[in-house]
Structure 1
Amino acid sequence: MSFRPFRWLPHNGKRHAVKEDAVACEETTTLCGEEVTIPAGRLGKEEWSWPTCRDCDAAWRAAEGILPIPHQLGAADVSARTPGVPATPR
């Protein structure tokens, strides 16, 4: 069993986060809200190189207590985390 509550799964052109305990052929929901059936077989290398779903990544990071990737933050978020830079209104 994993230490983490989520794992990554290629689906619909992106890598999405799903519950760690999801099993083959089970229907589940990704962290971004997409319905997915866990595949029974192994996925190819191409699928694992798909880009990460930004919404799943943001939800995963929030659940794990990991700061967002800086390039995914808005200007207000960056200035709020940067000492000496005033926050800009949204």
Structure 2
Amino acid sequence: MSDLVRLTGPRFAWQPADGRRHCYPDEQLLAWGTHVMALCGKGMAAKRVPREQWLWPTCHDCAEQARERQAGG
């Protein structure tokens, strides 16, 4: 048997923007600068950000949507 773990279900990427960390389906990210649509409906450009922005609060709507999609809802 293989030691590799296969991830199932939707996968997400996170992007800090406007004071919150937002989540979007990872297949949207084609390259830095790509316009992505967060699960909460916020549009933004995917880009590298300073480390401190990763400490921003998580967008509640994005987190809820991600949980629902992971659960198959």
Q: TM-score with structure 1 length normalisation?
A: 0.62
- Provide the aligned length of Structure 1 versus Structure 2: 63
Q: Which residue of the partner structure matches residue 31 of structure 1?
A: 39
1:21-79 per-residue CA deviation (whole Å, 9 max, x = no partner) reads: 3131111110000010111xx3222100000000000000000019xxxxxxxxxxxxx
Cα distance in 2, alignment partners of residues 29 and 20 from structure 1: 10
**Alignment-mate amino acid for residue 59 of structure 1:** Q
Pick 1 or 2: higher relative contact order, CA cutoff 8 A, min separation 6. 2
Cα distance in 1, alignment partners of residues 61 and 25 from structure 2: 15
**Alignment-mate amino acid for residue 45 of structure 2:** T
Identity %: 31
Instruction: Give the aligned CA root-mean-square deviation in angstroms.
Output: 2.0
Q: TM-score with structure 2 length normalisation?
A: 0.75
Q: Which has the larger radius of gyration?
A: 1
Say which SS state the counterpart of residue 58 (structure 2) adopts.
coil
Q: Which residue of the partner structure matches residue 56 of structure 1?
A: 62
- In structure 2, the gaps of 5 or more residues are 1-6
